[in-house]
Structure 1
Amino acid sequence: MSNDTYDVVQELLRRMTEGDHDRTAELFAEPVDWRLSWPAEGHSAVPWIRPRSSRAEVADHFRSLEAHHVPELNGTSVTRILVDGTHAVVLGEIAQTVRAGGTAYTSPFALHLSFEDGLITRYHIYEDSLTVTRALST
């Protein structure tokens, strides 16, 4: 696999789309600087929104997302990938449907990634977590 920032971002997105959670987690350094933290105190409706630092926890994050959503109805899209050296920002829109209850929701997102030796060292995602929490709480 390439160490080029853009290539690793593309590989990450491909593995996420395929639902290959363990192979997705292999792209992350240990520890990883992970930020998906609202609500910071956690919420039972969104168990994947919590601190993480290991590959096993990264794989668990993506498994939990899949368990709570209908993968066949995932319409998440990427509109732009910006690269500056070992940093990348991925912009897009999350479009998911909640497995329990069928509530659909959308949220813009920005994902800030940093890389070292071809591995993701930072994964900070910014989204409308209130919309996500509300959709999963109904």
Structure 2
Amino acid sequence: MTTRETVQELLRRMGEGDVDRIAALFAEQSEWRFNWPEEGHPSVPWIRPRSSRHDVAEHFRMLGAYHVPELNGTSVARILVDGDDAVVLGDIAQTVETTGRSYTSPFALHLTIENDLITRYHIYEDSLTVARALSDDTRRQAS
């Protein structure tokens, strides 16, 4: 597959929510980065260091468990490809299962594809909005 085809397949599988098939697109070891503090945030347990294919499946399994899949409105505006690298731009729109709060956040996802497998997954999002939507602190709501 080309870089673009691999990215499109990843997005398709993410939309379907099949975590094992998502993980199968990743190299056994990959470089993950979130725009969160290294220790993550106590309200957002799926945000932590990741590197293995098993970690990938766990990440997407946890992400799905904390959100209402039927209310996912995440959209992709653009996919930019340069050789083995791709950047996906869009908006995350989720509803948290436990709080019922919805949130939206622009995102940028930087991927590197080598030998048809994803070796880099760096995601940049509005982490404060996500943390607030999952927090028990109702004094501040995400918009």
TM-score range, shorter chain: over 0.9
* Counterpart contact for 1:80–1:90, Cα < 8 Å: yes
Aligned pairs for 1:39-50 (under 5 A) are: 39-50=37-48
Distance 2:37 2:135 in 1: 13
What is residue 28 of structure 2 aligned with on the other side? 30
List per-residue Cα deviations over 1:44-69 (Å, max 9, x = no partner).
Answer: 21111111001111000001011100
Q: State the secondary structure of the residue aligned to 2:43.
A: coil
Which residue in the other structure is 1:134 paired with?
Answer: 132
2:37 equivalent to 1:75: no
Mapping of residues 1-138 of structure 1, within 5 Å: 2=1, 4-138=2-136
| CA contact 2:106–2:126 (8 Å) conserved in 1 | yes
Q: How far, CA to CA, are the matches of 2:42 and 2:69 in structure 1?
A: 21
Distance in 2 of aligned mates of 1:42 and 1:109: 17
Query: Cα 1:49–1:37, aligned 2, differ >3 Å: closer, same or farther?
Result: farther
- Paired with 2:45 and 2:54, the residues of 1 have a C-alpha distance of 15
Q: Which runs of 4+ in 1 moved over 3 A?
A: none
Q: Write the distance in 2 (CA, Å) between the matches of 1:9 and 1:118.
A: 10
Letter in 2 for 1:14: R
Aligned residues: CA RMSD: 0.9
Task: Report the CA distance between 1:17 and its aligned residue.
Answer: 0.4
The structural deviation recorded for 1:40 is 2.2
* 2:110 counterpart SS class: strand
TM-score by length of 2: 0.92
Q: Secondary structure at the match of 1:45?
A: coil
Uncovered stretches (5+) of structure 2, i.e. residues with no partner: 137-143
Which consecutive unaligned segments of at least 5 residues does structure 1 have? none
Quick one: distance in 2 between partners of 1:34 and 1:42? 13
